[in-house]
Structure 1
Amino acid sequence: MRSRSTQLLLIAAIFMVTLNLRPAITSIGPMLDIIRDDLSLSNTQVSLLTVIPVICMGVFAMLAPVLNKAIGLNKTMYFMLLLLAAATGIRFFVASFNVLLATAFVAGITIAVMGPLLSALIKQYFPKHVAVVVGIYSFGMGMGATLSTGLTGVLYEAAGSSYTTALAVWAILAVVGIIAWTFTAIHPIEVKQVAKQPVQTGVNPWRSAKAWSFLVFFGLQSALFFSVLTFLVPIATANGMTLLKAGTLLSMMTIVQIFMNIGFPVILQKFNSRTPALVTILVLGILSVGLMWTADPLWFAIGVLIMGIPLGGLFPICLLMPMDATETADETNSWTAMMQTGGFIIGGILPLLIASLYDYTANHQVTLFVFLLLFVAMLVLALQIGRSAGKARS
């Protein structure tokens, strides 16, 4: 049993690690056009720098329980943070598409492994405060994404128009994560393994209809998150908004998202059922798309701000789903890894499909319609998951 002070150290370490779960990907976004022009790439090629790590986050998520059992949580976390620091830092030295692609690939693997392990850790060490710590987890992740999205352009200018410097500087967060983990690892940290009786000790997530519904839901919210971040500015400028105003609006939306990252799990802690709150934010998401569909700049801006509510609330509730459905930290690790395996693959592929639709139609009303379909599909799934959870409790 860890003391209160060591628990606080662990929470701080979790926060510092979660800061690293997005910048290696999201820092690329503001530099896409600059990288494309500098390296003479096509739009399809340059988009792979953000698509590949997201798909890797899905393909390699199942490495988390494997590495945890093979070398333990501490060594796995150190190794992943070191890999992430190296992959991000090497961008400073080489301006090459192949190197950027390789570093994106490695970053995706490290994020894929760390995410499920952190979820299992929270389940094991904070069983009575899961929602609050998940809020800190998602807040850290959202903060990392927001900082890297907002500051990479500033760093680019400060570094004398050097995108390699602007991309590589985020390796500092991984180094800070290693230092934070070193302080808390003085006290033993591990995710306990279930003895080798998988049939008796837990449900195999790959054979569970509920786990598959979690996977699809997570995939849809991932697709929505990455699609909105990719296409919001183009949609706004297509509506007549200047690039500066569109960027400011995106920043304001991410602020709403960050508040939801940490506030929504705290609200969920007060309710026995997650379903009503989940349905509410999904309905707000549908409303936001409707407001964005209008040509009126004010209603569009209000719709974008409302969009920050589901974008910030959906990820933490996805993290809570396998925690609610499992009994042990090892089970949580397996269910979360399975959910993220398929979910991030969906999240990486759908934005590419949206881009293809836009290339074909040249109409962002179609993009908004896809957003609407994603919200409606998640609403149907949320109601189904809620009914199955109700039956399980009765």
Structure 2
Amino acid sequence: MPVPHSGDSSPAPVASGPPSHSSGGARRTGSAILLGTGLILIGLNLRPAVASVGPVLTDIQDDLGFSATAASLLTTIPVFAFGAFAFLTPLLSRRLGTHRLLGILMLVLTAGILLRLHPSLTALFAGTVLLGAAIAVGNVLLPPAIKQDFPHRAGLMMGLYSMVLFVGPAIASGATAPLAHAPGSDWRRALAIWALPALLAFALWLPQLRRGPRPRPISGAAGPPVPSRFRTLVTDPTALAVTAHMGLQSAGYYTFLTWTPALLQDAGVPAAEAGLMIAYSALPAILASLAAPVVAARMRRGWVLVVLTVAVTGTGLLGLLLAPAAGGYAWLTLLGLGQGAAIGLALSYIVGRSADAQQAAGLSTMAQGSGYVIAGLGPLGFGAVHSLTGGWAAPLAVLLLALVLQLVAGILASQDVVVGERRKRAAS
């Protein structure tokens, strides 16, 4: 099945031949729409299975007699799995092909979600690891798949993909608790409901399962090979900058999700309102994550958007430090805008700094594999500093320092240089 390229924006020629030409074009357009919709729907499923746990974490603790530390593993294990299992993606993709693997992942994700229905701790944690593994591979696969299938619409597609990474958890965060407390329901059934959109994504993806692994290019057939192996990536300044930016912005985001409710409650905000404020922050994040990759693709000085993103996020953090209760919604609006733009930029850099889909796959593996390991350490480190100091000023100061490092990495990653280009320039 040929790969549709929705990015071809040239005007369609006037039909002068048999009608089959027109029908063939319509079929290609339909295939492109189906493919694009499938990719975005898969992206929509890459967070709800994790985000749905937080709203019912107290119910899980009460039901199973968990301590707060044990219960928090249900939210931290998937983040570490995002990093650990990401490095398996190249092997699986070579064996199965990107499109077949994406379909299989939706089935594995469904199995992990449903496994948590079983009333045993082993099943609960095994399901958590399984869904984390599926999401990890999906995280890595989506950017190179977009690079391959929509090369001329990569900015728009990455914007949509970034957007649904906020839409999914926003829906899950808002709907899971009411579902758990509905008559005849409980937290296990509420978590299991998120298997339905994963099954829907698999059903929509069925036409793509016929696409097997792409044949490997013949060395030297099209000039020197683009450096894409991991050992080359870890010494490339552009790849390292993209990876550092991905890890630092992810660490900030997951630290925000984990600890901001407690910070707000300590400032006198009721628990229910604090949860509502966190859910509200997803709205500006959705808008910013959609807009940032599109705007970045049209800017000559990409570093300007990086500086603006960090400035907005930093202002939100300072607001939480100085007046968390009085200006809560204002600070969370700024944090939503900054974090939404940051994840949109981080994902767009994976595509924009890669010469082709093969290189994008390698960079995606490195950036997201290493990045989510860093992201998992963020909430733990923030919590440790909070425990040592007994307040929020020191951990927020550490988060602001990390934001400075994110600024440096983002400026380097924003430069319009693909991986390996600096090495080629030095050698010439």
Rg larger for: 2
Does the 8 Å CA contact 1:39/1:96 hold for their aligned counterparts?
no
Matched AA of 1:129: R
Local SS of the residue matching 1:7: helix
Query: C-alpha separation between the residues in 2 aligned to 1:365 and 1:83?
Result: 42
Q: Deviation digits for residues 299-351 of structure 1, max 9, x if unmatched?
A: 33211111001111111211121222221101100111111111001101221
Correspondence for 1:135: 159
Correspondence for 1:99: 123
Query: C-alpha separation between the residues in 1 aligned to 2:217 and 2:331?
Result: 46
> Which blocks of at least 5 consecutive residues in structure 2 are unaligned?
5-27
Does the 8 Å CA contact 1:202/1:331 hold for their aligned counterparts?
yes
Matched AA of 2:226: T
Query: Are 1:177 and 2:201 an aligned pair?
Result: yes
Correspondence for 1:109: 133
Query: C-alpha separation between the residues in 1 aligned to 2:132 and 2:218?
Result: 30
Query: C-alpha separation between the residues in 2 aligned to 1:266 and 1:387?
Result: 16
Query: Are 1:150 and 2:174 an aligned pair?
Result: yes
Q: Which of 211, 234, 241 in structure 1 is aligned with 2:239?
A: 211
Query: Are 1:167 and 2:191 an aligned pair?
Result: yes
> Equivalent residues in 2 for 1:370-389 (5 A)?
370-386=398-414, 389=417
Q: Deviation digits for residues 213-258 of structure 1, max 9, x if unmatched?
A: 2222111111111111111111111111112221221122111111
Local SS of the residue matching 2:86: coil
TM-score by length of 2: 0.86
Does the 8 Å CA contact 1:288/1:303 hold for their aligned counterparts?
yes
Does the 8 Å CA contact 2:263/2:392 hold for their aligned counterparts?
yes
Distance 1:196 1:351, change over 3 A: farther
Query: Are 1:270 and 2:303 an aligned pair?
Result: no
Q: CA deviation at 1:143?
A: 1.1
Distance 1:370 1:33, change over 3 A: farther
Local SS of the residue matching 1:202: coil
Q: CA deviation at 1:68?
A: 1.2
Correspondence for 1:57: 82
Query: C-alpha separation between the residues in 1 aligned to 2:368 and 2:219?
Result: 24
Distance 1:387 1:15, change over 3 A: closer
Q: Which of 107, 111, 117 in structure 2 is aligned with 1:86?
A: 111
Distance 1:25 1:194, change over 3 A: farther
Correspondence for 1:279: 307
Correspondence for 1:27: 52
| Bigger fraction of residues in helix | 1
Q: CA deviation at 1:55?
A: 0.8
> Equivalent residues in 2 for 1:213-252 (5 A)?
213-252=241-280
Distance 1:361 1:160, change over 3 A: farther
> Which blocks of at least 5 consecutive residues in structure 1 are unaligned?
none
Does the 8 Å CA contact 2:265/2:271 hold for their aligned counterparts?
yes
Query: C-alpha separation between the residues in 2 aligned to 1:378 and 1:191?
Result: 36
- Relative contact order (alpha carbons < 8 A, sep ≥ 6): 1 or 2 greater? 1
Distance 1:367 1:31, change over 3 A: farther
Correspondence for 1:344: 372
